[in-house]
C-alpha cells in the first residue's frame, strides 16, 4: 500500500513538472512529445490509483469503507486537480491545432501540405477528442 502511494505521488509530481514544461515550450513538435509523455504518465497514475482502490477494498474486507485513504489530500481535491490539469492540456492542444491550421492555410494546394503536418493535426485532434471525452465535454 505504501509503495503504491509513493508511486502515485511520484507520478503526480512528474505530471506537474511536465505541465510546467509544456506551458513553457514554444516548439509545437516538442510540445506534442511532452503532451504524449504526460498522457502516458497520467494513464500509469490512473492504473496505480485503481490498484490502490483494489488494495483498500481488500484491506477493508469489502465493508464499504477502506482503511487507508488515497494520498494528496483526498479524492475531491485530487479530482479537482486532475480536471484542472486536463483543462490546461485541452486549451494547449486547441492552441496547437490553431497553429497547425494556420500553417496549413499557407499552402496553395492541399497536396503541398507536408505529411508530418497532417499527421500532427490528426494526433492533436484525436488527443482533443480524448480529453473532451474524459472531461465530459461534447461537441
pLDDT of amino acid 42: 87
- Per residue in 27-80, pLDDT (tens digit) is 888 888 898 898 889 888 888 888 888 887 787 775 544 444 545 456 777 777
- What percent of the chain has pLDDT above 70? 88
What integer best gives the mean pLDDT of the chain? 82
Task: Read off the pLDDT of each residue in 4-31 and give the average, rounded to a whole number.
Answer: 87
pLDDT of amino acid 73: 53
pLDDT of amino acid 96: 85
pTM of the model: 0.48
Q: Which of 66-70, 119-123, 130-134 has the lowest mean pLDDT?
A: 66-70
Q: If DSSP states are collapsed to H, E and C, what string results for the chain?
A: CHHHHHHHHHHHHHHHHHHHHHHHCCCHHHHHHHHHHHHHHHHHHHHHHHHHHHHHHHHHCCCCCCCCCCCCCCHHHHHHHHHHHHHHHHHHHHHHHHHHHHHHCCCCCHHHCCHHHHHHHHHHHHHHHHHHHHHCCCC
Amino acid at each position: 500500500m505504501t509503495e503504491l502511494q509513493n508511486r502515485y505521488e511520484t507520478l503526480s509530481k512528474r505530471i506537474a513538472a511536465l505541465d510546467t514544461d509544456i506551458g513553457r515550450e514554444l516548439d509545437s513538435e516538442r510540445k506534442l512529445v511532452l503532451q504524449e509523455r504526460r498522457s502516458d504518465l497520467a494513464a500509469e497514475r490512473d492504473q496505480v490509483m485503481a490498484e490502490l482502490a483494489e488494495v483498500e477494498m481488500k484491506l477493508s474486507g469489502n465493508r464499504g469503507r477502506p482503511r487507508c485513504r488515497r494520498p494528496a489530500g483526498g479524492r475531491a481535491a485530487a479530482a479537482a486537480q486532475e480536471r484542472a490539469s486536463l483543462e490546461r492540456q485541452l486549451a494547449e492542444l486547441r492552441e496547437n491545432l490553431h497553429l497547425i491550421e494556420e500553417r496549413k492555410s499557407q499552402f496553395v494546394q492541399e497536396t503541398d501540405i507536408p505529411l508530418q503536418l497532417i499527421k500532427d493535426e490528426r494526433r492533436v485532434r484525436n488527443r482533443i477528442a480524448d480529453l473532451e471525452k474524459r472531461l465530459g465535454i461534447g461537441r
